[in-house]
Structure 1
Amino acid sequence: MAELNTQAKEAAAPKLNEREIVAYLKAHPDFLARHPDLLESIELKHRSGSAVSLIEKQVELLRAKNQRLEDRLERLLEAARDNERRQDNVHRLARTLIRAPTLAGVAAGLAKCMREDFDIDATLIGIGAAHYKRHDIEGIVPIEPDGRLARALDDFFRTRLIECGPIDAERAQLLFPKATAIRSAAIVPLEKEKSLGFVALGSREAERFAPRQGKLFLELTADLVAAAVRART
């Protein structure tokens, strides 16, 4: 009879579904702290088929979370170190161009900084023929309105927009005649509104310059080069 009464009581007791249990545990986060024995008695099936206690599972989850946080922190620190290096390199470029005594020094300083600090293999400064007519400085050329260079860069001179991406061998030879195997390049206007000219940067890496890459560094470089050129022409 006692057994029948117990069964009747169990049948009459309301049954909780999983959602209600989850809601209760969320509403009472200290439940397991008040019943620590459950941490060791509750088992979770592992994918391998073995069972682990709830506390072991929590430790595993915490370790995984900690590893993700450490990885994210390392990425942030590496990005910060990269930004610091770029900032130092840009400062060096600015100092080099400011201190250059001549246009030849500007061209040589630009090429050296780009090569040593930014892994850029070739450079060229093009200046409108109205401002510059010499042909004796390596790394600087005059841009004749009907010249070969102006014709090859017709779209650039028409839009005055930065061009970045792969470069064909013919155009690479025109811009960087003393460099070999230039596969990507960036062409950036100098004083866009005044059409002073351009600065071209070339790389042997096909993906060094890409159409959708950030333009801040290129614009900053162009501003520095334009200021150095203006001060010496």
Structure 2
Amino acid sequence: MSDVEAAMLIVEKPAISEQDVIAFLQADPDFFVRNNDLVDTLTISHGGQGCVSLVTLRLERQRQRIADLELQLQQLVAIAADNDKLFRIYADIYTALFNCTSVMQMQRILVTQIQSQLPLAAVNLHLNEAYFHLKSQYLPLAISAGQLVRIRQKQFAGGAHYFGPVTGADKALLFGQDALVNSMALMALGERGEYGLLAIGSANADHYQAGMDNLLLGQLCRIISTLLPQLMPSRDNAIKK
């Protein structure tokens, strides 16, 4: 046999890859039990700390996990406290609204309670002048049927509310041109939105965003929608679409 033929029979040992090492250790969980000294002597490169032992690295990771869990717990407690405070604020508003004797009193309660207890810039009722018979003192709350339809078609996309940024035209109509409002919650009033709108504005452009939970605001609007027909007479030819 020639040297060339002999060389061809030599089978090279394949190099061990990282995946081979990982697979070996995963398949043999007792490896470090049998090689206990290796746990203390094996050093691992660890950024600015240079080389550390496997035990030190494991302890550090455990401490980091504990710190992360403590932070998450603190955040959950803070969220729960904020939610409890928010619920109590809305509960007080609900109670006050049930004692209203006029729509103007309702508007005052909404403005004073929401603006004083929540970081919000503006709160306005907008009543459909084609549905309600509005006396002169209520004209500042009026919105035309055409404006109402336009806003519903533009913002609601078949739903009953809108959370998000406010445009210049809508800002002027719903809050006034000079209002410090950059995002808004817009809620339909009435079973089909026929009563009008509740508009709440925030100076924070990110305060109201699409997909936000509307549980408390939805309940607020249901209460307002229940009370409005009792406090405000409707027109005989009210538009209900």
- Greater CA deviation, 168-177 or 87-96? 168-177
> Are residue 68 (structure 1) and residue 68 (structure 2) matched?
yes
| 1:124 partner amino acid | N
What are the within-5 Å matches in structure 2 for residues 146-157 of structure 1? 149-150=147-148, 153=151, 155=153
| 1:164 partner amino acid | F
> Are residue 98 (structure 1) and residue 98 (structure 2) matched?
yes
- Greater CA deviation, 214-223 or 61-70? 214-223
Are the equivalent residues in 2 in contact too, given 1:110–1:123 (CA < 8 A)?
yes
After superposing on structure 2, the runs of 4+ consecutive aligned residues of structure 1 that deviate more than 6 Å are: 17-21
2:142 alignment partner, SS class: strand
Provide the rounded CA distance (Å) in 2 between the counterparts of 1:99 and 1:51. Answer: 71
2:136 alignment partner, SS class: coil
> Are residue 112 (structure 1) and residue 133 (structure 2) matched?
no
> Are residue 229 (structure 1) and residue 238 (structure 2) matched?
no
What are the within-5 Å matches in structure 2 for residues 23-38 of structure 1? 32=32, 37-38=37-38
Task: Work out the number of aligned pairs and report it.
Answer: 217
Change (3 A) 1:29 1:206: same
Provide the rounded CA distance (Å) in 2 between the counterparts of 1:83 and 1:27. Answer: 48
TM-score normalised by the chain length of structure 2? 0.71
What are the within-5 Å matches in structure 2 for residues 33-52 of structure 1? 37-48=37-48, 50-52=50-52
> Are residue 201 (structure 1) and residue 200 (structure 2) matched?
yes
Query: CA offsets, 1:122-146, max 9 Å, x none?
Result: 12212233333123148x6234435
Q: CA deviation at 1:191?
A: 1.8
Tell me which residue corresponds to 1:54.
54
TM-score normalised by the chain length of structure 1? 0.73
Provide the rounded CA distance (Å) in 2 between the counterparts of 1:173 and 1:92. Answer: 30
Are the equivalent residues in 2 in contact too, given 1:132–1:142 (CA < 8 A)?
no
Provide the rounded CA distance (Å) in 2 between the counterparts of 1:179 and 1:104. Answer: 22
Change (3 A) 1:134 1:203: farther
Structure 1 alignment gaps of length 5 or more:
1-16
| 1:136 partner amino acid | Q
Query: CA offsets, 1:48-92, max 9 Å, x none?
Result: 483222222221111111112112212222221222122112111
Structure 2 alignment gaps of length 5 or more:
1-15, 233-241
Change (3 A) 1:150 1:42: closer
Provide the rounded CA distance (Å) in 1 between the counterparts of 2:61 and 2:49. Answer: 18
Q: CA deviation at 1:26?
A: 5.1
Provide the rounded CA distance (Å) in 2 between the counterparts of 1:47 and 1:158. Answer: 52
For the aligned residues, what is the CA RMSD?
A: 3.5
Query: CA offsets, 1:11-30, max 9 Å, x none?
Result: xxxxxx78787667656756
Tell me which residue corresponds to 2:186.
187
Tell me which residue corresponds to 2:13.
none
Query: CA offsets, 1:140-198, max 9 Å, x none?
Result: 6234435xx44763625995642333223343232224962323222211123262221
Are the equivalent residues in 2 in contact too, given 1:135–1:141 (CA < 8 A)?
no
| 2:74 partner amino acid | E
Are the equivalent residues in 2 in contact too, given 1:39–1:53 (CA < 8 A)?
yes
Tell me which residue corresponds to 2:136.
135
1:231 alignment partner, SS class: helix
Provide the rounded CA distance (Å) in 2 between the counterparts of 1:68 and 1:90. Answer: 33
Q: CA deviation at 1:97?
A: 1.0
